[in-house]
Amino acid sequence: MAFMPPQGPQGPQQGPSSPPPQTVPQQPLAATFAVDPGAITGCLFRNTYIWPRNGPGFWFYPTFVGRTSVAGFRWTGRMWVFSGFDLGRIESFTCF
């Protein structure tokens, strides 16, 4: 079975056409218990840097925000790959 890209209202969704910024932003000082869906909704279709509760931070391009999760494209260092994350696993984020 061939991979099918996620479907959006206008058809298949694709990641951004260019890499994210090369510099990593400074992490906000305030950490949260869980990211509010309304807060990260403002980052839809924008380069967003995510600091997870565990592991290194990464560039993300969100295309969907649900009640408890966010989905979009994660930068691997070479390409954008579709993925999703539980909002409770995100310590902080910033978008441009």
Q: What is the pLDDT along the chain (96 residues), one digit of tens a residue?
A: 444 455 555 445 678 999 999 999 999 876 666 688 999 999 999 999 999 999 999 999 999 999 999 999 999 999 999 999 999 999 999 998
pTM higher than the cut 0.85: no
- Report pLDDT for 35: 83
**Number of DSSP helices (H) and strands (E) in the chain, helices first:** 1, 7
Candidates 24, 88, 87, 90; CA nearest to 55 is: 90
Q: What is the CATH number of domain 36-96?
A: 2.30.30.100
HEC assignment per residue over 35-50: CCHHHHHCCCCCCEEE
